[in-house]
Structure 1
Amino acid sequence: MSPLRMAQGRLRISFFLVLVVFFSFFVRLVFVQGVNAQERAHQAARELNQTVDLPAPRGEITDRNGNVLARSIDALDLVVDQNLIGDPKVTANLVAPIINASTAAIQNRLTGTRKFVYVAKDITPAQWLKIKEVIALNNSDKPMSKRIGGFFTQRGFKRDYPGKTLSANTLGFVNSEGVGGGGIEASMNSVLSGTDGVLSYSSGKGPSIPSARQSLIPAKAGTNIRLTIDRDLQWITENAIASVAKRTRAQSITAVVMDPATGEILALATAPTFDPNKFNVTKSNLLKIPAVQEAYEPGSTGKVMTFAAALQEKVIDPTTVFTIPYTIKRADRIFHDHESHPKWKLTSTGILAKSSNVGTIQIGEKMSENTLYSYLTKFGIGQPVNMGLPGESPGIFSKVDKWSRSTAPTVAFGQGYSLTTIQATSVFATIANNGVRAVPHIIAGTSNQNGHYTPKVNNSGVKVVDKEVAKTLSLMMESVVAEGGTAPSAQIPGYRVAGKTGTANRFNDKCRCYSGYTASFIGFAPAEKPRFVMSITIQDPKGIHWGGYLGGPVFKEVISYALKSYQIAPSGELNVPFPLDAATLKKREKITAAAEAKD
């Protein structure tokens, strides 16, 4: 074959190959522009346009007077474009110490090809300035290809508790993901959280294009919650129990102050407590809300329900006389009073004032088991309070068909069932509120970002005993804080006070046995027209464990402040106490008879 023909053949082959290539491009172009145009456009848009959530500030939590207890404050979130990090290890070594983070964890966040990655949340402006300084110093003697870039900040929010430990257990905390992890922050998380917004921006292979940013949906702030708590009264209460906790080395102390007429919780304090600003370094047992989560056997404070039932059923009156031995046997158990004594002849009031277990058993036996059970359930025993706090316990109260022959005597003087501090406070609030049980609550209402306030609707009160019975029992309870009672340290000069002490054997979950004590005092003032009910519960105190000795002074300190702060007038005429024993009763009857004879 001649050279000319060979050349022509090669040209034909080359031309054919060129046609094939051009045809392939044409087919591909038709496919991309015609058949698959929409999908390719969407793919390009996805690669160019990025979206980022804009965090919404959580709603505030305030006290009853609008004082802020929890709020969201501006914070900086450190963000990086991983494509601009030349050496993640070197960069992590520079940045991690500044933000107090693990070098390995930061290196992991810097490694990859993602254009938007959170490195750290809630950094301070000072930390961001330091990061920029060390990066600038590192880049000063490096070629362009070795320089660090890609760091920027995004505005965010950090949860702040200005009172630090104030109401910490009630408020709870917010974790690093912005989710409530305890207290009101957890139970009302969906209300407080609000709705995040969305930010869109365009980016190429390198950094994002700032001029192309646009907000698609603005963030909507969360709803504010107003509590019934009084900040100043809360502070006084926390300080009072903190000193007792330190002195007694108790496992925990819980105090509740309630308005008996409305059921509003004015203070709910726990010791020891924690700082929700530092919840991540707090022991888990300190994050609980013992007032609603921990059930215990109340002991003698539970006796008031037995007395209320007996008065309502008209099987006793304040001066009914009983012969009280030190011990009494029922079924296979022997019950006794807290201190050895000869036979007493006490009135019903005297049994309450001296907190006699044996005497209370005798009063309880004047009613059937079903009757006693029904009154305790009316007082709310064994039923959830539903205050809106997480993990609320209903307590434990077995039905009568589960009782043994010794259960009724045990229940009569406050053991054999369990309740929470809130439930115990509610029992006394019922007596203080003329026999009507107002539903305890701690959430007053909510307000949106426009300031519109919506009060929370609560259930109406439930009548438990007659007004006359409640008034009579209140007069009897005044003897508890009088001289000769078990809590004279709870007296408040100028005001009448009614109350009851309690010291119960404490059930220990660890050994599944009884060890230690639960000491308590619950009272209200002014007794003639109660404005405040307060309970103090001390779990496992070391040393002296009497409820009146430990709780009485706390009651006096806190309620004295409350009476003054709310400008409650002192009591008028003092109560003439019921006789505590048969001898005093007989003397009074003689005096009365002599006075009537003169008339």
Structure 2
Amino acid sequence: MRESGGRGQGPGRGAGGAGSQGGPGAARRTPAGPGRAGRQGGASRSDGGDRSASSENPPRAPRKRPDPDLDPFDLPFGRDDGAQNRPPQDSGGESRGRSRQGGADDSRGRSRGGDDEPRARGRGDDGPRSRARGDDEPRARGRGDDGPRARSREDAPDGPRRRPRGDGERTSQGPGDRPSRSAQSRDEGQRPRGRVPQGREDADRPRGRASQGRDDADRPKGRAPQGRDERAGADDGPLRRGRQEDGPTRRAAGVRPETVRGGRESATARRGADGPPPRGPRRPPTPPRPPRPPLVLRLGSPRRRINIGLIGMTFVLSIFAGRLIQMQGLDSKVYQEAAAGQRQHTQDIPAKRGSITDVNGHALAVTVEAREISIDPSKVPAAARANVAAILARHLGKNEQEIAAKLARTSTRYQLLARDVDPVVASRLLQDRVPALSAKETYRRLYPAGDLAGSLIGFVGDEGGGLGGMEQARNKLLAGRDGKQRVETGRDGQLIPMTARTRTAPEDGQDVRLTIDRDIQWAAQKSITDQVRKAGAASGTVIVMDVRNAHILAMANAPELDLNNWRKAPAAAYVNKAASDVFEPGSTNKVITAAAALEAGAVDPDTVFQVPDNIKCADRVLRDAHPHKPESMTFRQAMAQSSNVATIMAARKIGSERLYRMLKAFGFGAVPGGGVPSAEGGLLPDYRKWSGSQSCTVAYGQGVSVTALQMASVYQTIANGGVKIEPQIVAGTTDASDRFVPAPAGKQTKVVSETTAKEIATMLESAVSAEGTGELAAIPGYRVAGKTGTANRYDAELGRYEGYTASFVGFAPADKPRLVVLSVLQNPKNGHFGGQLAAPVFKDVMTFAIKSKKIPPTGSAAPPVRMRAGQ
């Protein structure tokens, strides 16, 4: 009969244990350490003492073994159906327990009860926690402190023999101590785990915690002590923690094991008899069963999971908190500026570009309002692209395929469709409700005169800057200063209302007034264009200049640049050839040689030269313009007939140095002032570097290079009485109040004396007479002075002389000069003499200019001069 120190009354186990509610206390088993006092303690039970049932302590009926099939804790492993055929247990059998060697004197509190005394589990107040087991119970976990673990032959005759463990394998413990876990671990480490000894009925028992689960089903909930007698029967074997350990039983000191072969216990052994039980016949050993790994059902600790979760959450939240502190605390200004940079945008407010007008205020280049049409292709539905492309092409005058290709670029958010769109056209286009279409307010440059002075005026590029001519030279003055507007926009670029805006008003550009006379420019451009076409020349240039102030009244080139279609013109048309193209002047340069000789007093207009048709100069023989017999010529006659040989003879009288200085004084080799765009300085080598023949050719205009503007300035100096004025192209500008501010006058330089200038003028007037080479330049009713020029043309592309340069330059009226006109044709095919090709252009342009300026004829006749020797 089993007695337990559970919740009911009964003897407690362990020394000094207190009963529960008036009964002996039942100690709760813990892994190690002293027993815990029971509830409301009763009488304790001494170690190893026999206590029989009495009236005060009546025996309790044995607990009925639960049906394994109905036991909810009977796990589906380790159970053997053979256990149902085991012999019934004697209810009066003594309970199994653990006992230390030494019997009742063992301080560990492991004792064996009497025959009829139920085994209890408990802890004494001053002793170690003990666990009682019967003599016939095989030793479970742990071992005694002072006794070796023994196994008799009778205990397991058929099983494998195991080596007894001596005292050296266990740790001696004093009273009140439990066996250490190290000793227990060593004991368990030497025992086979999960294996049932052969030859015992315990091999048929369920493994693990199955038997314990069946007992626990009948036990009150809580941590009640678990004795061996609380299991389904003594035959079930010891209950092990987490697994079933089947090893040889340990015999208590002085007590014989009373188990019978086959796992059955005799009544005498259960009653505690001293004699050995009868032994049955040996049965053959059963084959060993393969070990099965124990199935350990472990429930996770909620506290551990909660702690781990809290630690993880704390770590994550700390990262967020740190990032939040960094963003809102440490780097708040950085992110604030970044956000403002994404939201705030600076928009340029374009300034209105100033106009370019002629000397009378007629517009040559103006700025008007325009629209820049763009679209967001990503917002145009694919099904509507064809219709949208047709609408845009119709209004903008573009190719429909080109517009469709731009609409197909859906990966971009911006596609420029057209610039410089008229506001009326843009307004009409926006009314068609084309999706994602926008029109930006801009300005566009218009050139009302088309190609009139196109290369001189220049043009404006797509970015609003000048790219040639006056547009580039005076870009800063014309462009003004753009304004700025800082606004806040949303994601789609829409302005956010009610937000702070800063605006800097633009400063419009100033108007530039040129010295160009629109009418004279038109006449000059028409005349040179017609002559270039007629002569088959590569290009032509005409310059009209006012003698009194060197204002350029016309600067025409043929072919000329059409400013309204400048994108389609070749790059060569962008250059203002009148100021940038250099050429060898030829005979028009003879006036400088004459001025140097007259100024030096080496010759005068009536000096007679014996002129052959050729002259040797160093290693070369230079010939006259046309072959003739040697003849006597006055210097005036030589100039009128443009004799090269006579000019060389006059130059030799003054020397190369004096000639070079005169060329420099007239502006050769230096860029003309006055702000003419793209002006070049020509080429004038130092006289010390002249070759033997070059000292002769420079005298009649070969071996030096000038521009048309430089040569026109030379004749302006002669016509102005020997005073050179820098050519002027800008008459003035208008300020912010539309007040005209005239440009400063050009720099004046005295080059030759007035007497020398007048003598040269009379010589040039003879050149336009019937005896001169420029007869075709004569204007009826006006006295005209001028000089023809025919020079070999140096072709820079070919690297050699190829073709001719035909030119004519003069002024009128000759006795009171007002205008200078120069005409040049480069590489003409139909003739090459200046008097033949360039003189007619001079006459046409000068005639128109005189009428346009209302210059009356002087009414005086040319004075009689000595043209030939002997007259």
**TM over 0.5, shorter chain:** yes
Partners in 1 of 2:330 and 2:787 — Cα distance?
86
2:412 corresponds to which residue?
112
Partners in 2 of 1:202 and 1:271 — Cα distance?
52
Aligned residue runs from structure 1 range 188-199, under 5 A? 188-199=474-485
Instruction: Decide whether aligned partners of structure 1 residues 49 and 543 sit closer, same or farther in structure 2, where only a CA change above 3 A counts.
Output: same
Shift of 1:48: 2.7
2:348 corresponds to which residue?
53
1:473 corresponds to which residue?
760
Q: Is 1:123 matched up with 2:421?
A: yes
Q: Is 1:37 matched up with 2:332?
A: yes
Partners in 1 of 2:481 and 2:487 — Cα distance?
20
Q: Is 1:156 matched up with 2:442?
A: yes
Q: Which letter maps to 1:355? A: S
Partners in 2 of 1:85 and 1:30 — Cα distance?
44
1:273 aligned residue (536, 560, 563): 560
Q: Is 1:65 matched up with 2:360?
A: yes
Q: Is the 8 A contact 1:81 1:207 kept in 2?
A: no
Shift of 1:31: 4.1
Shift of 1:457: 2.5
Instruction: Decide whether aligned partners of structure 1 residues 436 and 349 sit closer, same or farther in structure 2, where only a CA change above 3 A counts.
Output: same
2:489 corresponds to which residue?
203
Q: Secondary structure at the match of 1:253?
A: strand
Shift of 1:130: 7.2
Instruction: Decide whether aligned partners of structure 1 residues 510 and 96 sit closer, same or farther in structure 2, where only a CA change above 3 A counts.
Output: farther
Shift of 1:14: 7.3
Shift of 1:333: 1.1
1:170 aligned residue (448, 456, 473): 456
Q: Secondary structure at the match of 1:208?
A: coil
Q: Is the 8 A contact 2:376 2:412 kept in 1?
A: no
1:77 corresponds to which residue?
372
Partners in 1 of 2:717 and 2:322 — Cα distance?
87
Aligned residue runs from structure 1 range 429-448, under 5 A? 429-448=716-735
Partners in 2 of 1:109 and 1:187 — Cα distance?
39
Q: Is the 8 A contact 2:392 2:429 kept in 1?
A: no
Instruction: Decide whether aligned partners of structure 1 residues 285 and 42 sit closer, same or farther in structure 2, where only a CA change above 3 A counts.
Output: same
Q: Which letter maps to 1:202? A: E
Aligned residue runs from structure 1 range 140-289, under 5 A? 149-206=435-492, 208-209=494-495, 211=497, 216-289=503-576
Q: Deviations over 1:483-530 (max 9, x none)?
A: 111111211122111000001111111221111110000000011110
Quick one: higher RCO (CA 8 Å, sep 6+), 1 or 2?
A: 1
Shift of 1:118: 4.7
Q: Is the 8 A contact 1:84 1:206 kept in 2?
A: no
Q: Secondary structure at the match of 2:352?
A: coil
Report the TM-score when normalising by structure 1.
0.88
2:798 aligned residue (502, 511, 525): 511
Q: Which letter maps to 2:446? A: D
Partners in 2 of 1:70 and 1:290 — Cα distance?
20
Shift of 1:576: 1.9
Partners in 1 of 2:446 and 2:864 — Cα distance?
51
Q: Secondary structure at the match of 1:311?
A: helix
Shift of 1:539: 0.5
Please identify, of 91-100 and 179-188, the stretch whose mean Cα deviation from structure 2 is larger. 91-100
Partners in 1 of 2:480 and 2:695 — Cα distance?
51
Instruction: Decide whether aligned partners of structure 1 residues 21 and 276 sit closer, same or farther in structure 2, where only a CA change above 3 A counts.
Output: same
Instruction: Decide whether aligned partners of structure 1 residues 211 and 86 sit closer, same or farther in structure 2, where only a CA change above 3 A counts.
Output: farther
Aligned residue runs from structure 1 range 82-101, under 5 A? 84-85=379-380, 90=385, 97=393, 99=396, 100=398
The structure with the largest helix share of the pair is 1
Partners in 2 of 1:85 and 1:312 — Cα distance?
80
1:141 corresponds to which residue?
none
Q: Is the 8 A contact 2:674 2:746 kept in 1?
A: no
Instruction: Decide whether aligned partners of structure 1 residues 325 and 560 sit closer, same or farther in structure 2, where only a CA change above 3 A counts.
Output: same
Shift of 1:18: 7.1
Instruction: Decide whether aligned partners of structure 1 residues 404 and 22 sit closer, same or farther in structure 2, where only a CA change above 3 A counts.
Output: closer
Instruction: Decide whether aligned partners of structure 1 residues 559 and 25 sit closer, same or farther in structure 2, where only a CA change above 3 A counts.
Output: same
Instruction: Decide whether aligned partners of structure 1 residues 219 and 84 sit closer, same or farther in structure 2, where only a CA change above 3 A counts.
Output: farther
Q: Is 1:570 matched up with 2:857?
A: yes
Q: Is the 8 A contact 1:88 1:111 kept in 2?
A: no
Gaps of 5+ in 2: 1-220, 223-298
Shift of 1:220: 1.9
Report the TM-score when normalising by structure 2.
0.61
The structure with the largest strand share of the pair is 1
Partners in 2 of 1:512 and 1:89 — Cα distance?
60
Instruction: Decide whether aligned partners of structure 1 residues 281 and 42 sit closer, same or farther in structure 2, where only a CA change above 3 A counts.
Output: same
Q: Deviations over 1:223-261 (max 9, x none)?
A: 221111111111111111111011111111101011122
2:839 corresponds to which residue?
552
Partners in 2 of 1:73 and 1:271 — Cα distance?
29
1:593 corresponds to which residue?
none
Partners in 1 of 2:502 and 2:379 — Cα distance?
25
Instruction: Decide whether aligned partners of structure 1 residues 160 and 110 sit closer, same or farther in structure 2, where only a CA change above 3 A counts.
Output: farther
Instruction: Decide whether aligned partners of structure 1 residues 23 and 322 sit closer, same or farther in structure 2, where only a CA change above 3 A counts.
Output: closer
Partners in 2 of 1:58 and 1:499 — Cα distance?
42
Partners in 2 of 1:87 and 1:56 — Cα distance?
39
2:709 corresponds to which residue?
422
Shift of 1:367: 0.9
Q: Deviations over 1:186-237 (max 9, x none)?
A: 1222222222223444333345147458562222211221111111111111
Q: Is the 8 A contact 2:792 2:802 kept in 1?
A: yes
Shift of 1:120: 3.5
Q: Deviations over 1:80-137 (max 9, x none)?
A: 4566456699489568745537458735876335xx775542234576467557765x
Q: Is the 8 A contact 1:83 1:206 kept in 2?
A: no
Q: Deviations over 1:436-494 (max 9, x none)?
A: 11111211222223213333224431111110110111011111111111111211122
1:588 corresponds to which residue?
none
Q: Is the 8 A contact 1:150 1:207 kept in 2?
A: no
2:594 aligned residue (307, 330, 334): 307
Shift of 1:150: 2.3
- Paired residues in the alignment total 570
